[in-house]
A and B are shown apart, each in its own frame.
Chain A
Amino acid sequence: MSDDTRSGLAALGIGATVIFLTVAVMTTTVVAGDNSYRRIVKDLRTTYGATEDTLYGAGVMGELAVALIRPAGVSSMTFTILRGLDQFRKSEHDFNQIVRSAVEAKWRPLVVYSAPGENQWTHVYAQPDGSHILLLVVTRSRSDAVVVQARINPDKLSAFIDNPQILGVPVGKHF
């Protein structure tokens, strides 16, 4: 086998691994039978005419980073960045209503913060998952919104805060 063939196969292997890990992460982040995350993204897009920010594949790269680095007890994470929510000039109450109606009953509202004067809205929902906690966070400024769903191990996250390491490399005592 020539060197070119070997390097070609190696590149193919790396590519396949990256795709496999990405798919693996994306499938693990979906809560079985729960469409809350997708519904929020869809409803914000249709109601406000918002567009998903796919700049540099931010969502996929973030998920891949979580799969490889596993920071702070975060075993899976998926997120979507939405732009242009101010296009249709809907009132802030629509945003709160959209989020509330999109989230399924199994999610418990943990924190709701609304400051229409400052164009800031944050909804945090949670549900226990064994020793883990599932978090669904929707935050919005005037024109942008981020929807994040993550599965977190509080014990590991606490240990990470005490001794932060990424890929086994200490990253400092304090951020």
Chain B
Amino acid sequence: MRARIATTLIVLMAAASPVFAQAQLKLDNLNKLAEGAKQVVDVTIDEQLLQLASKFLSASRSPDEAQIKELVKDLKGVYVKRFEFDADGKYSTADIEPILKQLRTPGWSRIVGVTSKGEGGQNVEVFVMTEASLIKGIAVVAAQPRELTVVNVVGPIDVDRLSRLQGQFGIPALELPGKPR
């Protein structure tokens, strides 16, 4: 009987651990863009470090910090890659394709797509991974002629909450809907 309970627990634990892991994108293929980039920011914060880092935030210091602390409580990871180039054409859609391919797999849905035309036009696409009613992660791909940003937040989060994380944990301002002023 004990062995059966232990086996059930192990199976449940094994099943539970990758729940959010599916929402973590493989971003390594973007690393090659670093060579031609003027500026590179690469942020990798897993759950354990995120929880430790959130201790620096104090609810008594400001309401914003209280909100962000509450927000990151359940997160499993924050991953950001941002490349800035000194000329157009230093990256192509082929470089982003492996990311988009992952975002076309079952579970991921594109919920926001903003295209601004003209010089310096920005394309922002927001994807969420859901299972039943649970949001498992969110991904943002923001592309400009001389800038490429990919943000992947793993854990229960939505666009409104993500907008509150702009400027925190290496997540740049992405002009997402619902950005607090």
A: residues with CB less than 8 A from B are 93, 96, 108-118, 126, 128, 133, 154-155, 157-158, 161-162
- For window 134-181 of chain B, which residues contact chain A by CB distance below 8 Å? 170
A133-B52 contact in complex given A117-B86, A161-B58, A161-B61, C-beta closer than 8 Å: yes
- Closest Cβ–Cβ distance, residue A54 to chain B (whole Å): 32
Residues of chain B within 8 A of A128, CB atoms compared: 48-49, 52
Instruction: Judge whether A158 and B49 touch: CB under 8 Å.
Output: no
Residues of chain A within 8 A of B74, CB atoms compared: none
* C-alpha gap A96/B32 in the complex (Å): 13
* C-alpha gap A116/B38 in the complex (Å): 6
Instruction: Judge whether A93 and B49 touch: CB under 8 Å.
Output: no
Instruction: Judge whether B56 and A108 touch: CB under 8 Å.
Output: no
* C-alpha gap A45/B11 in the complex (Å): 51
Residues of chain B within 8 A of A110, CB atoms compared: 43-45, 49
Instruction: Judge whether A112 and B52 touch: CB under 8 Å.
Output: no
With CB as the reference atom, state the residue of chain A lying closest to B31: A112
* C-alpha gap A128/B48 in the complex (Å): 7
Contact among A93, A108, A133, A158 with B58 in the assembled complex (CB-CB below 8 Å):
A158
Instruction: Judge whether B44 and A108 touch: CB under 8 Å.
Output: yes
* C-alpha gap A93/B35 in the complex (Å): 8
Tell yes or no: B57 within 8 A of A by CB. yes
* C-alpha gap A113/B46 in the complex (Å): 18
* C-alpha gap A93/B31 in the complex (Å): 12
Contact among A108, A112, A157 with B42 in the assembled complex (CB-CB below 8 Å):
A112
Tell yes or no: B60 within 8 A of A by CB. yes
Residues of chain A within 8 A of B27, CB atoms compared: none
Residues of chain B within 8 A of A157, CB atoms compared: 55-56
Starting from the known contacts A108-B46, A113-B40, 5 additional A-B residue pairs (CB-CB under 8 Å) come to A109-B42, A111-B43, A115-B39, A117-B86, A161-B58
- Closest Cβ–Cβ distance, residue B36 to chain A (whole Å): 10
* C-alpha gap A77/B44 in the complex (Å): 23
Contact among A109, A113, A115, A116 with B44 in the assembled complex (CB-CB below 8 Å):
A109
With CB as the reference atom, state the residue of chain A lying closest to B65: A158
